């Protein structure tokens, strides 16, 4: 783990939950000012998030409510990634294991009694039951593939640590003995899409997040440097036990502009 990022930075990919916003949606101290300053420095900013319970428009609204300026085109979420993935498939008839509020996003792919190619699994704490999980399992057992919006293990909710989508995905994988295709972190798909959007060499970008188990490995797999912040899910004991190490460790995203200010890529 380095004390500094030692090459110019032209783009910053920012995690949201735990990095910019707390579990209750309130901004991390200094987050809005940090994003503003990064843009003033000429650094391209994209928001790469595993939030799979709300639409991109809602994510933008939450950021703006927290004083963080963001546009729809700057958000890279599992929902938009899954829709792009399904649009590329020859057969994309889907069964949805999603919260009801998200299901309309996938209406064009929903199976209508003619067989199922994919079971789409996202944040299903809203309306989740054993019966829904078991119905999805039976469809996978019958030949459908699993499309996971993300595979996070847990997240910080207003009431405390809570199981994330990865727990439901793991249950289906284990029961059906089949691996899911994952579009969110720790897969590199979201990060690669954001990198393609900003252009340039992946090594000129950094991924900033609070999760040593998803943000950092997905960054390194995509050829991008990583910054881990001591907010949100950060755990010193987990970091010390992990074989994966970030390129830079900061107290919070508020410290990021100062850390990068002298390393901004020219042009």
Do residues 161 and 118 share a domain? Answer: yes
Do residues 171 and 214 share a domain? Answer: no
Which domain-ending residue is among 182, 203, 221?
182
Which domain-ending residue is among 182, 217, 234?
182
Do residues 96 and 174 share a domain? Answer: yes
pLDDT digits (tens, 9 = 90+) for 20-55: 999 888 999 999 999 999 999 899 999 999 999 899
- pLDDT value, residue 45: 97
**Confidence check: pLDDT of 265 > 70:** no
Confidence label for 6 from pLDDT (cuts 50, 70 and 90): low
Does 18 reside within a domain? Answer: yes
Does 124 reside within a domain? Answer: yes
Give the integer Cα–Cα distance in Å for 53 and 100.
10
Do residues 175 and 197 share a domain? Answer: no
**Confidence check: pLDDT of 261 > 80:** no
Does 77 reside within a domain? Answer: no
Do residues 215 and 137 share a domain? Answer: no
pLDDT digits (tens, 9 = 90+) for 211-248: 999 999 999 999 999 999 999 999 999 999 999 999 99
Do residues 99 and 162 share a domain? Answer: yes
- pLDDT value, residue 168: 92
Do residues 229 and 165 share a domain? Answer: no
Do residues 204 and 259 share a domain? Answer: yes
The closest of 229, 148, 233 to 183, measured between CA atoms, is 148
Does 196 reside within a domain? Answer: yes
- pLDDT value, residue 23: 80
Give the integer Cα–Cα distance in Å for 211 and 79.
20
- pLDDT value, residue 143: 94
- pLDDT value, residue 266: 35
Average pLDDT, the chain: 90
Tokens at residue 45, please?
């900013």
- pLDDT value, residue 200: 82
pLDDT digits (tens, 9 = 90+) for 74-132: 999 999 999 999 999 988 999 999 988 899 999 999 987 678 999 999 987 777 899 99
* Omega prior to 18 cis, within 30 of 0: no
Do residues 131 and 193 share a domain? Answer: no
Which domain-ending residue is among 150, 167, 182?
182
Do residues 38 and 107 share a domain? Answer: no
Do residues 209 and 164 share a domain? Answer: no
Do residues 176 and 156 share a domain? Answer: yes
Tokens at residue 264, please?
């901004």
Rounded to the nearest 5 degrees, what angle is found at the Cα of 184, between the Cα atoms of 178 and 187? 70
Does 121 reside within a domain? Answer: yes
Tokens at residue 79, please?
């929902």
Does 211 reside within a domain? Answer: yes
208: domain CATH number? 3.40.50.1000
The closest of 46, 15, 9 to 28, measured between CA atoms, is 15
Does 248 reside within a domain? Answer: yes
Across 27-43, b (16+ Cβ under 10 Å) vs e yields: bbebbbebbebbeebeb
- pLDDT value, residue 1: 53
Structurally, the chain folds into a number of domains equal to 2
Does 195 reside within a domain? Answer: yes
CA-based max dimension of the chain: 58
Give the domain range for residue 223: 11-50+185-263
């Amino acid at each position: 783990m380095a004390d500094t990022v030692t090459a110019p930075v032209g783009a910053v990919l920012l995690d949201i939950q735990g990095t910019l916003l707390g579990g209750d949606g309130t901004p991390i101290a200094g987050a809005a000012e940090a994003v503003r300053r990064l843009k003033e420095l000429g650094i391209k900013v994209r928001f790469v998030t595993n939030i799979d319970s709300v639409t991109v428009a809602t994510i933008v609204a939450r950021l703006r409510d927290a004083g963080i300026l963001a546009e729809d085109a700057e958000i890279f979420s599992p929902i938009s990634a899954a829709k792009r993935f399904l649009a590329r498939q020859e057969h994309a008839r889907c069964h949805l294991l999603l919260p009801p509020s998200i299901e309309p996003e996938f209406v064009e792919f929903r199976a209508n009694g003619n067989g199922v190619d994919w079971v789409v699994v996202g944040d299903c704490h809203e309306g989740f039951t054993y019966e829904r999980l078991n119905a999805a399992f039976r469809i996978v057992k019958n030949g459908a593939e699993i499309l996971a919006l993300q595979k996070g293990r847990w997240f910080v909710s207003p009431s405390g640590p809570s199981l994330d989508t990865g727990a439901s995905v793991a249950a289906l994988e284990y029961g059906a003995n089949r691996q899911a295709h994952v579009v969110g972190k720790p897969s590199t798909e979201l990060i690669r899409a954001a990198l393609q959007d900003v252009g340039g060499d992946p090594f000129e970008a950094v991924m900033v997040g609070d999760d040593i188990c998803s943000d950092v490995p997905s960054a390194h797999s995509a050829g991008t440097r990583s910054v881990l912040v001591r907010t949100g899910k950060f755990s010193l004991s987990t970091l010390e036990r992990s074989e994966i190490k970030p390129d830079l460790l900061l107290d919070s995203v508020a410290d990021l502009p100062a850390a990068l200010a002298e390393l901004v890529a020219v042009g």
